[in-house]
Amino acid sequence: MTSPVVLSAPAAVIRLLGYSLVGILLFFVPFELAGRSSLLLDHAASALQTHARPLVVVCALLFMLYGAVMPWFDGSWRNSATTILFSVLRTLGLLVGVAYLFEFGPAALYQPDMLPFLFEKLVLSLTVIVPLGAIALVFLIGFGLLELVGVLMQPVMRPLWRTPGKSAIDAIASFAGSYSVGLLITDRMYREGQYSLRDAAIIATGFSTVSVPFLVVVARTLDLMEHWNLYFWSTLLITFLVTSVTARIYPLASLPAERLPEPELEHGVSRFASAWQAGVARAACAPSLPVSLWGTFVDGLRMTAYILPSILAVGLLGLLAAKYTPLFDAIGLLLYPLTWLFGLEQPMQVASALASGLAEMFLPVILLKDADQLVRFVTAIVSVSSVLFFSASIPCMLATRIPLRLRDLLLVWLQRCLLSLLFSLPFGHLALYLGWL
């Protein structure tokens, strides 16, 4: 393999500014098209789902077929108890997907909040958004912007979240874009040695929430759109605040922290000048755009293939458990003391509904959409800031090469759920008192 050509300084500056601008426009700037304001990635995904649905469905089935068959073919199912479990679940997910398309199975599975929700809203969306996001990701992380932001953010990220400065753009992309796209960044940085296991675990479990467009869906469902700015910024603040706590307690705090050293500032050189130099140096020696696009695109295809069947299988099992078993009532007992202490109406019902977020983050939103305003506001925050759920983000994390243990993810979910409640409940009461809600 030939080494990448090192560009001259002017060409590197053009590459840094040009490609980085494209990445920023794709990930962080909403555009209004057809009366809807959203990110270009989301517009592209929506257009494909609307105008090329048969193609998207075929791609989804091919992804699920690959994801279900490959672990048995390459023997990776033997790696651990978790890989055995998810290999079986991915096979089940493939069968469920085929059954859904042929409308085979009991009518209870075809209620709007069961298989139709999982397949139409999650599977088909991820089928297009993850590969598209992987392509767009190159412009954000491949040509110097990551290094530039990393040097600038060193004084902030390490004291607050115990992660490198360069993780700032990862955290922002994870929160503003999508957990799946954010995890692509985190996985790549971990494999390159830029992140330690602890860094990667903190970022994956602390910032990889659902996308901003999905936050809009949450706010609309809970009738909070007239308070959108309050909801969005309080969710961001509480999510990041919870992460600053979980980064300092077991199990995340006990993970290994070896990583490549961060660059030190040269004596007499300002932080901005040092950041600019780091960005230009990366842009000068980065591989060509086609090479970078192909490598990240393949990563995106692989991740898509592994998460789609997992989402269908685990999501369906979680929805069935929430509807027909007392499982989440039992888990809700762990959250009940907080919902009772802060005086919520029907505190046990609220605790059980929030506990169902472990199966699918949208479940509490569905179950509590008719509750009072305080409960709806808290639900909208906690369902996002908890980050971890079995229908999507947990399988997505386990599909990366970051060696996260399922039991640790479950403990982090409980910590995040409790802390999110602890922070959002008093804030919700304050917002009501001040007339913000």
| Range among 189-198, 222-231, 295-304, 333-342 rated most confident | 333-342
**What is the average pLDDT score of the chain?**
86
Say what the pLDDT of residue 93 is: 93
**What pLDDT is stored for residue 173 in this prediction?**
66
Whether 382 maps to a domain, the answer reads: no
Give residue 391's identity as a one-letter amino acid code.
Answer: S
Please determine, for residue 411, whether its predicted confidence score (pLDDT) is greater than 70. Answer: yes
Question: pLDDT tier at 381 (50, 70, 90 boundaries)?
Answer: very high
- What is the C-alpha separation between 413 and 73, in angstroms, rounded? 32
Alpha-carbon span 295 to 133, nearest angstrom: 13
* Contacts with 179 (C-beta within 8 Å, 6 or more apart), sequence order: 208, 209, 210, 211, 387, 392, 393, 396
Give the pLDDT mean for 333-362. 92
Percent of the chain whose predicted confidence (pLDDT) is above 90: 34
**Residue 132 to residue 212: CA distance in whole angstroms:** 16
Asked if residue 396 belongs to a domain, the reply is: no
Q: What is the mean pLDDT of residues 101-106?
A: 88
Across the range 407-431, mean pLDDT stands at 96
Residue 230 located in a structural domain = yes
What is the domain extent for residue 33? 9-325
The domain total for the chain is 1
Instruction: Decide: 209 and 385 in contact? Cβ < 8 Å.
Output: yes
88 lies in a domain? yes
The reply to whether 237 falls in a domain is yes
**Within-domain flag for 331:** no
Q: How far apart are CA 307 and CA 293, in angstroms?
A: 21
Half-sphere exposure of 233 (CA within 13 A, CB side): 4
Asked if residue 24 is part of any domain, the answer here is yes
Tell me the pLDDT band of 1, cut-offs 50, 70 and 90: very low
Nearest to 175 by CA among 130, 208, 143: 208
Identify which has the larger pLDDT, 44 or 175: 44
State the pLDDT at residue 211: 65
Residues with Cβ < 8 Å from 128, sequence gap 6 or more? 44, 45, 48, 49, 56, 59
Dihedral angle sign, alpha carbons of residues 174, 161, 354, 309: positive
pLDDT (average), residues 188-214: 85
Provide the pLDDT for residue 323. Answer: 81
Question: pLDDT by residue (tens digit) across 140-171?
Answer: 878 888 788 878 877 888 889 988 877 777 77
Q: Please write the tens of the pLDDT for every residue from 33-78.
A: 877 766 787 788 888 888 899 999 999 999 999 999 999 998 888 8
The per-residue pLDDT for 390 is 78
Q: What's the first-to-final CA gap in the chain, in angstroms?
A: 59
The answer to whether position 55 is within a domain reads yes
User: pLDDT tens digit string along 234-269?
Assistant: 998 999 999 999 999 999 999 998 876 766 677 777
pLDDT at 212: 66
